[in-house]
Every structure is written in C-alpha cells, then in structure tokens.
Structure 1
C-alpha cells in the first residue's frame, strides 16, 4: 500500500491509499473554496449522562446530488469534486460538514472506490483489503490526536438509512469521549469478570460457536453470527477469533481472511429478500476499544452489521418502546435470520 497525503483548497486533509507502490498523486485542488466554518458543540444530557453533538452547519450539506455532480467521484474536466485526481483506489478526507470538529473531535469521509454505481459488496478481495488498510491507518493516526478517546469507522448504505450521497463511502468519527454504547459494554465486561473471572467477549463467541444455530460463517480466523438477543431484523456480528482491542492489532492471517468473509456476508444481505428487491439498506459499525481505557486489553474488536428492512418492502421503525425507552422489539427470531443468511450463500 502507498499512502499520499495532501491538502484540499480550503486546507482540509486528503489522503490517497493506493494498491500500487508506484502510484503518483500530484493533482492539486483548483476550487475557490472558503475556509471551513463549523459550529459543532458537544452538550451533556444530565439525566441520561449522554453527550449530544449540536452541529447547525450540517443543514447546508450536499443532499442527493445527481450522479454527474457527485462530490465523491474523481474530478474531470469541467467538474471538480472533493477528489482532485481523475482516478483513485481509496481516498479519505476531512468532512466539509463535520458533526465533530476542533477540540470536539474529527470526522472523515472514506471513499471505497471511484465507481459511483458500485457498492462495498462489489469490491474485489484486494480492494476490500485496501479499505481495511485505510481504516487501520486512520485508527492509528486519529488515536494519537490530543483529546480523542475513541475511533469509530462505519458505513451507512441506502436512502432508508438517511444517506445523502449515493457514492459508496463510509465515515470515521474521532470522538472526544467514550460513546454511551461502549461504556455499557465496558460495564458489562467488568461485571462479568467480577462474577466469573472470565472475559465476556470470549464467552459470547464461545457460546455462539458451541450453540451453532446462529452461526452464519465460520472461518479460520473470523466468525460471523446473528447475536442471541439481536435488536434488528437481520443483524450479524463479526469477531476475529483471536481477541484484539482494535484494527491496528489484527495479525496478518486475520487481515487476509477478513475481506473474503465480510464480502460474502454483504452479498448475502443483498439476497435476503429475494431477487428483484432493491439493495438492502444497512449500517456497518466497527467497535474498537477506547484509546485510554484501563479495560482496553479486555475489549474485543468486532463489526456489527444490520439492516432496518424487516421484510420485502417494509422497514423496522423505532417506535414508542425503542425510541422512548430503548427497549427493542424484534419481529424476526435470530435463529430464523441466521438460517435465512445461510440459505442465500453465494454459489461456489
């Protein structure tokens, strides 16, 4: 992998990740851009203990532009985008409309491919491996920034999820705090250690492997399963079998196998609801250990993938119980979801 760092016209950082070591990235950004002005503020909810990012400047972000005006496609004559080069493998840049900014964190955009009409599932193993390299490099670098407590790599796909740009891409948030979801995991981790003397993540993976009914794919170095208490209609968790705290700690064997297993899971997601259905909307979220947590060594890196579609043409809405009390009601038994994901395996 070759990494080339440059700057956009307004000073934001842009990084190219190329599979070829001889790739040359010398395109400059000729756009007359004003400096980025953000109004991001972190507020604390005293009742719940949560933090809320208030970012009014995001009201002006680009919203469903036509394909020939996509800001994530390579630039061409007469149309300049966020990527000055006329082609790229993987590109990462600071978001022009960040939810977090300055001392309040950092937000980056990850462009998986220059192909506007593709999706992550369309990538080759080699292309997906390069995205994994980019996620890993950004995790390592962002973790070193002053004030960053947790790095979150994720992808939202589909208009139903709220995606405003159709080009295949994801984002990375560098939070100046440990997120509420991770804090709950850490509390459960500590309680389990106190009660049993064992690691909770290790026990969860071991229990799923022993049960077997919710296993979707079982590789040499990764396992993918529908969790016992899945919140979403179709939800898959991917764990490396050797517990590590974050992407930077993955060994070569796990890094090599991941693209094969993950791409297969994504392709199955697109076949869940049968032929002729639009692509399945989903969120793919990497859970990594907080940067400075004393429980860092006990945390287990994992990826959670889920869709809000519950059946053909119908979505799972977060109604009263979910939105009002955070108590999820799942219409699809996890065992049935796992069986369906095994049924739609790719033909060899």
Structure 2
C-alpha cells in the first residue's frame, strides 16, 4: 500500500491509500489530483463549553447545520470525480482515501492547548475530523468489501491513530463508522470518520476510571477480566485464533457486539501482524451475520475504543476493542432513546443478550 498526501481546493489535506500503485499505474500528485472546484477556505469555528453539573465537555459546531444532507446518488460528494462533476475526491477512481472534513466538529489549529481548565468561558475546539472513504463504489457496504480492502482500511485506521495522536493538543483518537439512515447517516456512500479530540470523551473516560479502581482493588486489568469471562461464556458469536466477538452481558442496545483481540493491545497501531491478518476474516463474518439477522443491511455504529494519547489519562489500562450496535430492535422497529435513556442516562433493553448471541451463532 502506498500513502500520498495532496491538497483540496480549499487547502484541506487528502490522503490517498493505494493498494497496488505499481501494478495499476496509479500516480498521485498535485497535478493528477488537482481539485478544480472554487471553494472558500474552511475557518474553524467550533467551541468547547463545559457542563459543570455533568462534568463533561460539549462541542458547539453551529456551522455543521449547513452540511450536505442525503443527496441523490448522482450528486454524492464522496464518489470519484468524473464526467465533469467535481467531488471531494479529485480522481476518477480510488481505493481508500481520508481527508479533512469540510464541516468539522473540531478545528485544526496546531499547537492549541487541551482544555484542562473547566471554566465557564468557551474555548476553541481544537482537534481534527477526517472522513475515510472505504471504496469508490457508492453501493458497496463495508460488509461486502474484500478481505484485502478491509485490511487496507484497518491499516488506514492505525495510520490515522498514530499520526493524529502525535498532533499537539490531541488526547484521544476515535475511528468509527455510522451506517444507515436510521442511525442518522447524512451521506450514503460507504465511509467512516476519525475524530481527534482535545479531551478524553466521557465514555472511555468512565471505562478507564472503573479500570483504575478495579486494578487497585484486585490487581487485574478489568478489560482482560471481562474478555476472559465472555470467552468462557454463552454469548460468544464468532471466535478466531486472535479475535473474539461476543454480545456483552449488559448490552445496552437491541443488538450489540464487542470484538476484542485476545492479546492485550492498547490501540490500533499496536496490533501485530497475526491480529491484522485475521481481523478482516472475523469482522466480515460478523457483519454478514448482522445483515442476515433481519434479512436486510443492518444500520449500525461501529466504534473503536482504544487508549488515550497521554499516560496520565490511563493509557496503560486501556484495551483496544470494537463495539458494534444498532438501534433496530426488530424488523421495522427502532429503539428510541426516550425518557429513561435520554433523561436519566439509564438504558432499558427489550432484548435478552443471550437470545441475540444464540441467533447470531445460528446465522453462521
């Protein structure tokens, strides 16, 4: 795989990841990837505001109200540029590309300090938001990619984690994919995103706090203990030599599956060759079963949980894993986050995790 960096018309960086550039005669440079559009430069305008009662940062990104929303397929901004129509990807084809989001939740000011002080005044939401397009084929979902392409995407996630994590002010890197209109996806083209946060988000922060308490009390890593218990239990869905996918015993969502590497691994760059080689096989099998659950492509969020950048944020406690969940609780039925979930933060599930795990095993 070859990585090439060029610029879009408004100055945003785009990264090309070509699987076989020598074989296919692909040449990526400023001339062959020239963006012909007349675009204004992206001016970061997001703010961080601290919710003192919840103890959490909230990002205000009002400019995102104007982002592209569910265009028809022939107007998709993530498809290759061709037939005189210029898109976000200035080339007639591509394997995988990553580029700075045109409507970012976080700005890109280099060297901005992280928001350590939780005062009442807004601060600049420094960081970076990238879009990752998995394929140039508008109609090919992640679950129908080839194992080679999934391996390429995994390498891109690892590369972006390492590069963004090295940027000043970044404390947490979060690769994820949203799929399906029911999830809230605004662009149907198969893609994901990578957020480089200037703080550790609430969910991983809470997990790491519990892991620290568990280590102090028992001397063992909480993530490792949970994985060992699940691997020995009845909720395993897919198991390989290096990865296991299971429905957690306290699943919040109607269908929720966690995918862990067996070897204790902090983040995506720390994956070894054996883990990287097996991941496409296990993950594609999991996605096939999820899509077969209701005889339809399942809308989902697939989110990588990994170590924060800083040691003082609990980096050594973290264990890399992927969490996949859907809001669909049955054919034509949606699990809405209503009063208990939205108002009190208390999830109530209508589905037994053991029943979902058994059904997914049957769909092998």
The question of a shared fold, defined as TM-score above 0.5 by the shorter chain, is answered with: yes
Question: Can you list the C-alpha shifts for 1:249-308, whole angstroms capped at 9, x where unaligned?
Answer: 0000000000110111111111111x3x4x211000000110003331221000000010
Q: Paired residue for 2:286? A: 265
Measured after TM superposition, the shift of residue 27 of structure 1 is 1.8
Please state if 1:313 is matched with 2:316.
Answer: no
**CA distance in structure 2 between the partners assigned to 1:2 and 1:299 by the alignment:** 30
Q: Paired residue for 1:99? A: 105
Measured after TM superposition, the shift of residue 344 of structure 1 is 1.3
* Structure 1 moving runs of 4+ over 3 Å: none
Please state if 1:111 is matched with 2:129.
Answer: no
Q: Paired residue for 1:17? A: 17
Determine helix, strand or coil for the equivalent of 1:129: helix
TM-score, length of structure 2 as denominator length: 0.92
Across the two proteins, how many residue pairs are aligned to each other?
341
Please state if 1:337 is matched with 2:343.
Answer: no
**CA distance in structure 2 between the partners assigned to 1:20 and 1:236 by the alignment:** 33
Contact preservation (8 Å) 2:6, 2:33:
no
TM-score, length of structure 1 as denominator length: 0.96
Q: Paired residue for 2:197? A: 175
Q: Paired residue for 2:300? A: 282
Please state if 1:247 is matched with 2:268.
Answer: yes
Q: Paired residue for 1:155? A: 177
Measured after TM superposition, the shift of residue 194 of structure 1 is 1.2
**CA distance in structure 1 between the partners assigned to 2:157 and 2:129 by the alignment:** 13
Measured after TM superposition, the shift of residue 100 of structure 1 is 0.9
**CA distance in structure 2 between the partners assigned to 1:58 and 1:296 by the alignment:** 31
**CA distance in structure 1 between the partners assigned to 2:42 and 2:309 by the alignment:** 28
Contact preservation (8 Å) 1:73, 1:83:
yes
**CA distance in structure 2 between the partners assigned to 1:72 and 1:138 by the alignment:** 19
**CA distance in structure 1 between the partners assigned to 2:356 and 2:349 by the alignment:** 11
Q: Paired residue for 1:191? A: 213
**CA distance in structure 2 between the partners assigned to 1:183 and 1:123 by the alignment:** 33
Contact preservation (8 Å) 2:212, 2:317:
no
**CA distance in structure 2 between the partners assigned to 1:13 and 1:43 by the alignment:** 28
Question: Can you list the C-alpha shifts for 1:79-132, whole angstroms capped at 9, x where unaligned?
Answer: 000000100000000000001113421100000000001100010000000000
1:231-242 mapped onto 2 (5 Å cutoff): 231-242=252-263
Which segments of 5 or more consecutive residues in structure 2 lack a partner in the other structure? Answer: 113-125
Q: Paired residue for 1:139? A: 161
Which segments of 5 or more consecutive residues in structure 1 lack a partner in the other structure? Answer: none
Q: Paired residue for 2:149? A: 127
**CA distance in structure 2 between the partners assigned to 1:69 and 1:124 by the alignment:** 26
Measured after TM superposition, the shift of residue 77 of structure 1 is 2.5
Deviates more, 1:3-12 or 1:32-41: 32-41
**CA distance in structure 1 between the partners assigned to 2:218 and 2:210 by the alignment:** 12
**CA distance in structure 2 between the partners assigned to 1:43 and 1:236 by the alignment:** 32
Measured after TM superposition, the shift of residue 16 of structure 1 is 0.5
Q: Paired residue for 1:299? A: 318
Deviates more, 1:303-312 or 1:16-25: 16-25
**CA distance in structure 1 between the partners assigned to 2:14 and 2:84 by the alignment:** 21
Measured after TM superposition, the shift of residue 21 of structure 1 is 4.1
**CA distance in structure 1 between the partners assigned to 2:286 and 2:51 by the alignment:** 37
Q: Alignment RMSD, CA only?
A: 0.9
